[in-house]
């Protein structure tokens, strides 16, 4: 009854596969297809095939500027998350198990709160009548409120704190799973704490760093709500352009912008993986 055995296998595979294909693969292919067509005033897309949606964006100084700003912002957020996140992860990894679990749960919890709420928290902090401004005015440090909001810096700070837990958790998990004996072996060979860290611990934690960086980076590109709330109309990034095109019913352009965004995501993912080469340290603990 080999057929029956296969029947069970198909029963298991078909629903999730169908869902993944129909709701993930097909829409994306369709989107790409649309991006290759000219715009149309009445339909979703016109009848002519064209690369114009891509070329017009990539040759437009305005858009190129946005792209530059997007990559720059992402890089700044990545750097901050890494430099603050790594020491925190190191600290967390060294904690005894019970306490570590509690701290990780404490870090996990903000991730479950919707980004819009967390962004709102920053609006409340940085706004003209926000916590910082009223605090500084009450202390007499300033007379007029500072414009802390609606610029790229606010976006960087806000997104950085929203995404920091991802970095900490992935690196902490990798560090915690590291065999302590690697460090002991290094010390037995004469390496002090700093050199042990630089030559043993840090390289061995590359898988965690790579995961963390990829996660933070991909989420940064996609974080429309936070970018809009904290950046305002003058600090738009590429994802904001996608949304604007949608609002303007310019579907093919929106599609093209989305794929340019995806291309940037894939390229920089490749760069991160190539630089860090996390596969070198396969098998040291997941």
Please report, as residue ranges, which positions from 226 to 285 form the binding site for other proteins (by CB under 8 A).
228-229, 239, 242-243, 246, 251, 254-255, 258-259, 261-262, 265
Closest CB 182 distance from other proteins, rounded Å: 18
Rounded to whole angstroms, what are the CA distances from 192 to 105, 175, 180?
A: 33, 19, 15
Task: Out of 165, 207, 212, 231, name the contact with other proteins by CB under 8 A.
Answer: 165
Task: Out of 42, 47, 129, 180, name the contact with other proteins by CB under 8 A.
Answer: 129
Distance from the Cα of residue 107 to its chain's centroid: 16
DSSP at 49: B
User: Which contiguous run of DSSP H or E holds residue 28?
Assistant: helix 26-35
Closest CB 280 distance from other proteins, rounded Å: 20
Task: Out of 57, 76, 186, 221, name the contact with other proteins by CB under 8 A.
Answer: 221
Closest CB 177 distance from other proteins, rounded Å: 11
From 68-76, 148-156, 202-210, 211-219, give the range in contact with other proteins by CB under 8 A: 211-219
Using CA atoms, how far apart are residues 70 and 236, in angstroms rounded to an integer?
8
Using CA atoms, how far apart are residues 248 and 108, in angstroms rounded to an integer?
37
Residue 159 or 204: the one with the smaller Cβ distance to other proteins is 159
By CB under 8 A, residue 125 contacts other proteins: yes
DSSP at 44: S
By CB under 8 A, residue 105 contacts other proteins: yes
Q: 53, 34 in Cβ contact below 8 A? A: no
Burial class (CB in 10 A: 0-12, 13-18, 19+), 218: middle
Q: How many residues bind other proteins (CB under 8 A)?
A: 89
Task: Out of 71, 75, 123, 202, name the contact with other proteins by CB under 8 A.
Answer: 123
DSSP at 48: -
Rounded to whole angstroms, what are the CA distances from 195 to 36, 173, 191, 192, 252?
A: 53, 22, 6, 5, 54
Q: Report, in this order, helix, strand and coil percent for the chain, each rounded to 5.
A: 80, 0, 20
By CB under 8 A, residue 91 contacts other proteins: yes
CA dihedral defined by 215, 220, 226, 229, rounded to 10 degrees?
Answer: 170
Residues 135-164 that bind other proteins (CB under 8 A): 160-161, 164
Residue 113 or 271: the one with the smaller Cβ distance to other proteins is 113
Q: 220, 198 in Cβ contact below 8 A? A: no
From 61-69, 96-104, 182-190, 198-206, give the range in contact with other proteins by CB under 8 A: 96-104
Residues 9-68 that bind other proteins (CB under 8 A): 9, 11-13, 15-17, 19-20, 23-28, 30-31, 34, 44
Residue 204 or 223: the one with the smaller Cβ distance to other proteins is 223
Strand partners, 37: 49
Closest CB 110 distance from other proteins, rounded Å: 5
Residue 61 or 138: the one with the smaller Cβ distance to other proteins is 138
């Amino acid at each position: 009854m080999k057929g029956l055995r296969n029947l069970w296998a198909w029963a298991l595979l078909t629903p999730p596969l169908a869902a993944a294909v129909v709701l993930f693969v097909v829409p994306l292919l369709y989107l790409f297809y649309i991006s290759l067509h000219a715009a149309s005033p009445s339909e979703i897309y016109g009848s002519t095939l064209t690369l114009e949606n891509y070329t017009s964006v990539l040759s437009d100084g305005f858009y190129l500027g946005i792209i530059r700003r997007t990559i720059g912002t992402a890089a700044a957020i990545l750097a901050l998350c890494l430099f603050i996140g790594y020491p925190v992860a190191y600290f967390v990894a060294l904690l005894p198990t019970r306490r570590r679990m509690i701290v990780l749960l404490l870090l996990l919890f903000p991730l479950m709160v919707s980004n819009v709420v967390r962004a709102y928290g920053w609006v409340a902090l940085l706004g003209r009548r926000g916590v910082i401004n009223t605090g500084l005015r009450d202390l007499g440090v300033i007379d007029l409120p500072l414009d802390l909001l609606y610029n790229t810096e606010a976006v960087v700070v806000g997104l950085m704190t929203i995404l920091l837990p991802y970095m900490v958790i992935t690196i902490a998990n990798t560090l915690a799973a590291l065999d302590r004996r690697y460090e002991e072996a290094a010390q037995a060979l004469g390496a002090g704490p700093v050199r042990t860290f630089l030559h043993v611990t840090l390289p061995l934690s590359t898988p965690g760093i790579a995961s963390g960086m990829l996660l933070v980076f991909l989420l940064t590109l996609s974080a429309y709500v936070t970018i809009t709330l904290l950046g305002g109309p003058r600090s738009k990034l590429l994802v904001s352009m996608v949304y604007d095109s949608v609002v303007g019913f310019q579907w093919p352009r929106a599609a093209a912008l989305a794929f340019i965004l995806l291309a940037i995501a894939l390229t920089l993912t490749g760069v991160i993986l190539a630089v860090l080469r996390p596969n070198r340290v396969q098998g040291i603990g997941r």
